[in-house]
C-alpha cells in the first residue's frame, strides 16, 4: 500500500465517523487553502512532465474521493439534523385546546370570514389588491375626476411625488380599485368580493385613519339592477340572520356607477335599542350601482357587451351594526378587555349551516 492509499483509508474512515463540527475541521485541514491535499496538488506544478503524468491521476483521484466523501457525509448529517428537528418540533394537532387559552378572533376578522362564507355560497371569489395604490387605479379608472373632493390632500394619504413615475402613489382610499385590477386581468363572467384595509385622513368616533371595506363586483352579459337588489337582499338576510330584512334603494351618486343607489336597511326598536329588521326607521348600509360604462371601457372591456353591478361598504360598520359596538376607535385600541368581550372563539368558524354569527 502506498502512503497515499494509507492516508486515504484513514481520511475516509475519519470522514465517515465525523460529526458536523469534526467534518468541517477535516475539510479545512485537507481541502482548505493550506490543507494537506491542497499542498499535494501544488506539488504537481513542480514535477517534470513525465513525473506529473505518472502521479497526477492518483493524486487527483484521491482529492476527488475525499471531496465526494465529505459532501456525502455532510448531506447525511444535514438530513439527520432536519429529521431530529422535525421530530422535536412536532405538534399534536389533535390535542384539545388548553383550557383558558388566550386570544380571540377580532370582530373585523370574524365579519370578513362571515362575508366570505356568505358570498362564496353565491359563487363569488375573494380578490385582493395592494394597499399602496396608484392614483390611476384608485381614482382615474373609476371615473373620479381630477377635481373630485376625494382626491384632496385632506382626504387622501399621498406618497411624495417621484420623478419618472407616471402615477402618483397613495394609500388606497377604498377597495374599489380591486374592481379595476380584476377586470383588467380576468375575462367575464366576474363575480368577486374584495375585503381589505383602506386609509383616509380622518379621525373621530366613527372614523379612523385606517378602516376596512368590502367591495363586490359582478360583470357579465345582461346584468341589471334586479340582480343587484336580489344579491344584496340575500346577503343582508344571511349576514344579519333574519328574514324580515327590508331594503330601501335610494338614488344617489358615485362617479363609478350609473345609476347609483344607496341602500338602507330597516330597523325596529326593541327594548329601547335599534335592531336590524322591520321598517320603523332606516339606516344606510351600502353604496352600489351599475358599473359605469366608462369604468368598464377603462379596463379594456366593451361596455356594449358587458354590464355589471358593484357595491361597497364598511366592514367595521357592519360589525358595529351586527354586534352592537358604538365606538369605532375601540376596534384598534388593542384593549384586552374589549377583545375578550367582543372577540370570537378561534375554533368557531362561521358556516352557513351552523350560523355565520358563530
Residue ranges that bind ligand DAH, judged by CB under 6 A: 174, 176, 215, 254, 257, 287-289, 310-312
Can you tell me which residue has the cell 380591486?
Answer: 178
Closest residue to ligand DAH, based on beta-carbon distance: 312
Q: Whole-number minimum distance, CB 88 to ligand DAH, in Å? A: 50
Annotate 34-56 with b (16+ C-beta within 10 A) or e (fewer): ebebeebbeeeeeeeeeeeeeee
| Beta carbon of residue 200, minimum distance to ligand DAH (angstroms, whole number) | 9
Nearer to ligand DAH, 8 or 317 (CB): 317
CB contact at 8 A, 209 and 201: yes
104 versus 257: smaller Cβ distance to ligand DAH: 257
Nearest distance from C-beta of residue 253 to ligand DAH, angstroms: 10
Closest distance to ligand DAH from the beta carbon of 309 (Å): 7
Q: Which is nearer to ligand DAH, 6 or 203 (CB)?
A: 203
Q: How far is the CB of 140 from ligand DAH (least distance, A)?
A: 14
Query: What ranges in the chain are assigned the alpha helix state H?
Result: 3-17, 20-31, 36-46, 49-88, 107-121, 135-138, 177-185, 225-240, 293-298, 315-323, 336-342
Q: Are 8 and 65 in contact (CB under 8 A)?
A: yes
CA dist., res. 308 & res. 330, Å (int): 36
User: Whose Cβ is closer to ligand DAH: residue 127's or residue 310's?
Assistant: 310
Whether residue 189 has a cis bond before it, omega within 30° of 0 = yes
Least gap, CB of 261 to ligand DAH (angstroms): 8
Short-list 245, 251, 218, CA closest to 233: 245
State which residue, 18 or 219, has the beta carbon closest to ligand DAH. 219
Shortest spacing between CB 349 and ligand DAH, in angstroms: 28
Do residues 314 and 212 lie in contact, with contact meaning Cβ atoms separated by under 8 Å?
yes
Going by C-beta distance under 8 Å and a sequence separation of 6 or more, which residues neighbour residue 225? 259, 261, 290, 309
Dist CA 163 CA 170 (whole Å): 15
- CB of 9 or CB of 184, closer to ligand DAH: 184
Cα 335 from Cα 331, distance rounded (Å): 9
Largest Cα span, the chain: 108
Question: Toward ligand DAH, which CB reaches closer, 38 or 206?
Answer: 206
Amino acid at each position: 500500500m502506498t502512503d497515499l492509499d494509507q492516508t486515504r483509508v484513514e481520511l475516509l474512515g475519519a470522514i465517515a465517523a465525523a460529526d458536523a463540527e469534526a467534518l468541517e475541521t477535516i475539510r479545512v485541514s485537507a481541502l482548505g487553502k493550506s490543507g494537506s491535499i491542497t499542498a499535494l496538488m501544488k506539488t504537481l506544478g513542480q514535477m517534470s512532465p513525465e513525473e506529473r503524468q505518472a502521479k497526477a491521476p492518483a493524486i487527483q483521484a484521491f482529492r476527488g474521493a475525499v471531496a465526494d466523501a465529505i459532501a456525502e457525509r455532510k448531506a447525511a448529517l444535514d438530513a439527520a439534523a432536519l429529521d431530529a428537528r422535525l421530530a422535536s418540533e412536532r405538534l399534536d394537532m389533535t390535542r384539545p385546546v388548553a383550557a383558558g387559552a388566550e386570544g380571540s378572533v377580532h370582530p373585523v376578522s370574524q365579519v370578513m370570514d362571515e362575508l366570505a362564507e356568505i358570498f362564496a355560497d353565491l359563487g363569488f371569489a375573494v380578490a385582493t389588491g395592494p394597499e399602496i395604490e396608484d392614483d390611476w387605479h384608485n381614482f382615474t379608472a373609476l371615473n373620479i375626476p381630477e377635481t373630485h373632493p376625494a382626491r384632496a390632500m385632506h382626504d387622501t394619504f399621498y406618497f411624495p411625488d417621484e420623478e419618472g413615475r407616471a402615477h402618483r402613489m397613495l394609500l388606497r382610499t377604498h377597495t374599489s380599485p380591486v374592481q379595476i385590477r380584476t377586470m383588467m386581468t380576468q375575462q367575464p363572467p366576474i363575480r368577486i368580493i374584495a375585503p381589505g384595509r383602506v386609509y383616509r385622513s380622518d379621525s373621530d368616533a366613527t372614523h379612523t385613519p385606517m378602516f376596512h371595506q368590502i367591495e363586490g363586483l359582478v360583470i357579465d352579459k345582461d346584468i341589471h339592477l334586479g340582480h343587484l337588489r336580489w344579491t344584496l337582499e340575500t346577503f343582508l338576510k344571511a349576514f344579519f340572520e333574519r328574514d324580515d330584512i327590508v331594503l330601501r334603494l335610494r338614488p344617489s351618486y358615485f362617479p363609478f356607477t350609473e345609476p347609483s343607489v344607496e341602500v338602507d336597511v330597516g330597523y325596529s326598536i326593541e327594548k329601547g335599542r335599534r335592531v336590524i329588521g322591520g321598517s320603523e326607521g332606516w339606516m344606510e348600509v351600502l353604496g352600489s350601482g351599475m358599473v359605469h360604462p366608462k369604468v368598464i371601457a377603462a379596463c379594456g372591456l366593451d361596455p356594449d357587451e358587458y354590464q355589471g353591478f358593484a357595491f361597497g361598504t364598511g366592514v367595521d360598520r357592519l360589525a358595529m351594526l351586527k354586534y352592537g359596538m358604538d365606538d369605532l376607535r375601540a376596534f384598534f385600541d388593542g384593549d384586552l378587555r374589549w377583545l375578550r368581550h367582543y372577540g370570537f372563539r378561534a375554533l368557531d368558524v362561521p358556516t352557513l349551516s351552523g350560523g355565520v354569527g358563530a
